[in-house]
Amino acid sequence: MSKNVDGPIGVVAALVRSAFLVDAVYAESAREHGLTQQQGQLLCVLMPQSYGMSELGMMLGLAKSSLTGLVDRSERNGLVQRKPDPQDSRAVRVALTKRGAKLVDEFYAETCRRIEELTAGFEPGERDALAALLGRVVADNKAPSVFMEPDRPR
């Protein structure tokens, strides 16, 4: 049973509801780009560089078998490729293919635009304050870098 709440809400409800809202925007954008939400996350993580499977598992919070399945599906779709790890001959690194890089650039730009729209009614100072506070939450809790800062060069 769900109730609409008029007026201010507390920090817990605000964080949870905003997480659901951003998650829904992310999922819709992924779907429109022919991706699952998990594939979108994988591609965004791989934008700046390739990673080993254990690093990816930690960043995405996935068990080894789940990550292997995700990488397998993404590889079959021509979005990522496994490459030998130059530091460890037993390991592989996962990297974007040209097709994957092109698709993630489009997905990333569109997703950033849509998430940015969520605060379209805010004044610049309000946006800065929100970014600073949420940035502290992320930093204080050592959240993994699964989505790059849109204003920073790659």
Residues 6+ apart with CB under 8 A from 142: none
Longest dimension (CA), the chain: 59
Residue-range domain boundaries for the chain: 33-140
How large a percentage of the chain has pLDDT more than 90?
76
Say if domain 33-140 classifies as CATH 1.10.10.10. Answer: yes
Please compute the mean of the pLDDT values over residues 65-78 and round it to a whole number. Answer: 96
pLDDT score, position 16: 94
> Mean per-residue pLDDT for 82-100?
92
Rounding to the nearest 10 degrees, give the CA dihedral for residues 44, 107, 124, 4: -100
Mean pLDDT, residues 34-50 taken together: 94
